[in-house]
Chains A and B, each alone.
Chain A
Amino acid sequence: DAGVIQSPRHEVTEMGQEVTLRCKPISGHDYLFWYRQTMMRGLELLIYFNNNVPIDDSGMPEDRFSAKMPNASFSTLKIQPSEPRDSAVYFCASSLRLYKRTQYFGPGTRLLVL
């Protein structure tokens, strides 16, 4: 079974550009999470979805960040416009609610904003 798939694995962009990160959760999982990891702040939950509906976006840093889940097999995290302080590793994770609520993480997207 394929795990959580994220693309791209690496992204380098210039300040002001739009960045779109993509995630395909494990098939059948009904929860999807977006996290950001930095040295300073560790792993932070940005937003999570249940059955494609955003449940808690209180971790989204500001209006420049937006996330969508148009269907059960795809989600995007968009940053527009990007800033150097957005440089981080962004992880997507998914879980199956009925099975003890453990989350499975993707390999992450390493974002560098110059």
Chain B
Amino acid sequence: GQQLNQSPQSMFIQEGEDVSMNCTSSSIFNTWLWYKQDPGEGPVLLIALYKAGELTSNGRLTAQFGITRKDSFLNISASIPSDVGIYFCAGQLGGYQKVTFGTGTKLQVIP
């Protein structure tokens, strides 16, 4: 089956630093999604990408859909304490709704 590998698994950064994380797949996807999960809550969608090569921003977050359709990355600029949480990538094939989630990147921001 499809596997999504996220890296790094966890990271500690200083407030104000930029963050970069990525996700690679053993097979292609037609949609890439990035979610954030706060402690004790469900994942919340941050960014959705629908076309290979697409670069999309949402405030301080920027995500890109890799041209091979097997990878995606997420950047967070000028991190702040509320960025703490677990970030999940997810891939989806077109035509139906099944989504495969990555293993997550746990982000800790040191004030």
Contacts and interface: CB of A to CB of B under 8 A. Distances in A.
B97 A50 contact: yes
Interface residues of A, number: 24
Contacts, number: 50
Contacts of B92: 101
B65 interface: no
A44 B1 CA distance: 13
Given A42-B101, A102-B48, A108-B41, 11 more contacts: A31-B97, A45-B100, A48-B98, A50-B97, A91-B42, A93-B42, A102-B45, A103-B97, A105-B43, A106-B42, A107-B41
26 contacts: A4-B42, A31-B97, A33-B97, A42-B101, A42-B102, A42-B103, A43-B43, A43-B88, A43-B101, A44-B101, A45-B98, A48-B97, A50-B97, A55-B96, A56-B98, A95-B97, A97-B97, A100-B50, A101-B31, A102-B45, A103-B45, A103-B97, A103-B99, A107-B40, A107-B42, A108-B40
